[in-house]
Chain A
C-alpha cells in the first residue's frame, strides 16, 4: 500500500516537473536571478574595463540621486511627459471611441487607420516623425501662412518634449481606443435606453451610466499607458537621441547610456533599481486603487 502511494506521489511530482518545470527554470534563470544580481551590482563599482569589482555601499545611489543632476532631471522629465501622455492619450482615445461606436458606415476604416501605428515598431515611428518634423511640417507652415509651424521642432529644448508627446499620442491613442470601443460596446443597451427615458442627455449618460460600467476595462488601458510612458525609450532613441543636449533625455535613456555608453555597470544598475522601484511603487498603487474600486462597485 505504501509503495503504491509513493509511486503515485512520484508520478504527480514528475507531472509537475513536466508541465511547469521548463518555464519555471527559464523564468528563474533569466528573470529572477538577474533581478537579484542587479541589486548586488548596484552596490559595486563594476565597469566594463575591470573584470573584478568592489563593494562600495550606497555610493552609487547617493551619486545618482544627489550628484548626478542629469539623472534626476531625466526622472523629472519622464514624469512630466508621462503625466501629459497618459491624460491626453486616454481622453483622446475615449473621445474617438465614443465617436466610433455610432452607426456611421466608415467607422471600421477610420479605426483601422488610427490603430495602424501600433503595428509599426516604435523605433521606426521615431524615424517616420523625424522626417515629418524636419522636412514636412515647416514647409506646410510656410505654404499655408502658419509661420509658427516653421521652426526646429526637434532642435529646440522648448518644443522637443511637445514633439515627443505628439508622436507618442499618434502611436498610443489607437490601442487604448480599441480597448475603449470594446468596453463601450459591452454596455447593456437597456441601461442606456432607461437613462434616455429618464431624460438624461448624452453627457450625463456617459458619466453616470456608461463610465461606471466600463471603468475596470478603461483602467487597464490607463495602467498599460502609465507603465509604458515611464519606460519610454525606443521613440526617444530614434526621434531625438535625447537631444538637443540632454533636453529630451528620459530616465530609460539615461540608464542605457550609463551602462552601455559610459560602461558604468554598477552605477547603471543603481539607476535601474531606482527607476524600477518607482515603477513598482506606482504599479502597486494602481492595483490597490482598482481593487478598492471593484469592491465599492
Chain B
C-alpha cells in the first residue's frame, strides 16, 4: 500500500515535470516553425503551425549570409583552441603535480587568478595589446587568447587527475630508458582520458558559444563566428526581416543542439565533473 502511494506521488511529480519540460521547449518550437514561413506568415500568424514547409529562407540565409563561412570559423577556432588548451594544460598540470614544492604552489596560485579576476578587467587593454602585435581582427590571435585564458582551469583539473596516476609507471619507464617527455606523452597522457573528455566538452561549449571576445576582437565579417555573425545579421541585413532573422537563429542553434543530442551523456558528465572537482 505504501509503495503504491509512493509510486503514485512519483507519477504526479513526473507529470508536472513533463509539463515543465514542454514549457522549456516552447521557445525553440516557435523558432523552428517560423523558419518555414514567409515574412507575412511570421508577422501575422506567428503562433500558427505552417501550412507548408518552405525552405526559401534557409536557402537565402545559407547563401547570402555566408553561413558556411561562419560555421567553418567557429569550427576552426573551437577545435584549434581546445587542442592547444589540452596540450599546454596537460603538460603544465603534470609537471606541477609531480614536482610540487614552493615554486609549483606559487605557480598554481598565479594561474588561479583567472578564476578570481573577471574578464572585464582585461577586456580593454587586451584589444590594444593585440593591436600592437597585429593580432587584432585575426582568428589566430583569438585562438591564442582562448588558450591563454582557458588553460588555467584545465591545469587545475589535470593537476588533480595526475595525483591518481601511480608514480611507479614513470619509474619503470625511466628504467626502460624513456625520457620524461616521451613518458608523459606515451604513458601518462593516455591515462588522463576521463578528465580530458571533461575539459574538451566544457571548453568546446564555452568557446563555440562565446560572444564577448569575438565582439571586441573581430571586425571583418568573413572572420566572424556563428554567435557574432548571427547577431550582425539580426541587427543589420535582416533587421525587420523577421523570417530571415528567425531562420538565422535556427541555423545557428543546429550545430550545438546536434552535438548535444549525440554527446549528451558526456556533456552532462563533463558539467558535473567540472563543477565537483573544480
Contact = CB atoms under 8 A, between A and B. Distances in A.
Select the residue from A19, A117, A129, A136 with max chain B CB neighbours within 10 A.
Answer: A19
Nearest to B228: A123
Contacts of A276: 117-118, 120-121
B122 A31 contact: yes
Given A34-B129, A179-B275, A104 B11 contact: yes
Nearest to B152: A27
B124 A231 contact: no
Nearest to B30: A136
A272 B110 CA distance: 21
B123 interface: yes
A276 B155 CA distance: 23
Contact of B21 (A29, A37, A109, A120): A109
B89 A120 contact: no
A170 B95 contact: no
Contact of A284 (B96, B116, B129, B149): B116
A243 to B, nearest CB: 13
Interface in A155-182: 170, 174-175, 178-179, 182
A121 B47 CA distance: 24
Interface residues of A, number: 89
A116 B260 contact: yes
Contacts of A238: 231, 234
Contacts of A179: 271-272, 275-276
Interface stretch (B53-61, B192-200, B244-252): B244-252
Interface residues of B, number: 92
A26 B276 contact: no
Contacts of B113: 31-32
A49 interface: no
Contacts of A183: 276
Interface in A123-166: 123-124, 127-129, 131-132, 135-136, 139-140, 143
A258 B212 CA distance: 15
Interface stretch (A56-64, A67-75, A204-212, A219-227): A219-227
B7 to A, nearest CB: 8
Interface string A11-36: 00001101110111011011111110
B151 A26 contact: yes
A119 to B, nearest CB: 4
A128 B46 CA distance: 13
Dominant SS at the A interface? helix
A223 B170 CA distance: 38
B88 interface: yes
A148 to B, nearest CB: 18
A146 B249 CA distance: 29
If over half of B's interface residues share one DSSP class (helix, strand or loop), that class is named, otherwise mixed; here it is: helix
A102 B17 CA distance: 11
A206 B115 CA distance: 31
A273 B121 contact: yes
A154 to B, nearest CB: 14
B140 interface: no
Interface centre among A105, A136, A140 (most CB of B within 10 A): A136
Looking at A20, A23, A227, the one whose CB has the most chain B CB atoms below 10 A away is A23
A11 to B, nearest CB: 9
B120 A113 contact: no
A221 B271 CA distance: 11
Contacts of B95: 15-16, 19-20
Contacts of A129: 27
Contacts of B21: 109-110, 113-114
Interface in B152-192: 152, 155, 180-181, 184
B20 interface: yes
B234 to A, nearest CB: 6
A32 B113 CA distance: 9
A234 B268 CA distance: 23
Contacts of B22: 113
A113 B147 CA distance: 31
Contact of B116 (A26, A38, A259, A280): A280
Contact of A139 (B46, B92, B125, B260): B46
Contacts of A221: 275
Contact of A104 (B10, B107, B114): B10
B91 A20 contact: yes
A76 B51 CA distance: 48
A16 B13 CA distance: 56
22 contacts: A19-B184, A27-B111, A33-B125, A34-B122, A34-B125, A35-B117, A38-B124, A102-B14, A104-B13, A105-B14, A106-B17, A110-B20, A131-B27, A131-B31, A131-B249, A135-B47, A183-B276, A220-B276, A237-B211, A272-B123, A280-B116, A283-B116
Given A26-B148, A114-B21, 7 more contacts: A16-B95, A27-B151, A30-B122, A30-B126, A110-B14, A119-B257, A259-B124
